[in-house]
Amino acid sequence: MATDLNRVVLVGRLTRDPELRSTPNGTMVCKIGIAVNRTIWRKEGEKEEKAYFFDCVAFGRQAEVINQYLRKGRRIGIDGYLTQNSWEDANGNRRSKVEITIENFQFLESKSATEYPSSDPVDSQFMGAQEVESQANFDMNDDDVPF
């Protein structure tokens, strides 16, 4: 029996500021949009740049970290899986949407030191390489996060 594979790895830039919300049971949820560029070479030797747009969602502590440190235009690397959500709209039509559920992510650029207030404990060199381990329902307190 073959095992199915549902894995997505992308590097892109946020298309909007993160949207952080809480579920009724208190789980933090952060939605982001990312744009991923791709260069296509035509037979004539011409280069064409294409942009692809993806909606992504993170849960728990990851959601909080993404919301705290990322803004529109910032680069992020994500690793996750595709999820299809279905619902009925106000007119009774069946709708669906595919989004990427983030399991792991990495900041791919750091802010310059001048963008952080001096009281901010984040070391911008370290933050750019920091990866937060993910699971949608893991327990972590602020002492577990190195920044």
- What pLDDT shows up at residue 140? 45
Following CA atoms 74, 78, 84, 90 in sequence, which dihedral angle do they give, to the nearest 10 degrees?
A: -20
What end-to-end distance do the CA atoms of the chain give, in Å?
Answer: 44
* pLDDT tens track for 60-94: 999 999 999 999 999 999 999 999 999 999 999 99
Regarding the domain with residue range 8-137, which homologous superfamily does it belong to in the CATH classification?
Nucleic acid-binding proteins (2.40.50.140)
Q: What is the dihedral of CA 98, 103, 108, 112, to 10 degrees?
A: 110
Q: What is the pTM of this model?
A: 0.69
Domain boundaries, the chain: 8-137
Mean pLDDT of 30-40: 95
| Mean of the per-residue pLDDT values of the chain | 80
pLDDT in tens, 38-65: 998 888 888 999 999 999 999 999 999 9
pLDDT band (50, 70, 90) for residue 99: very high
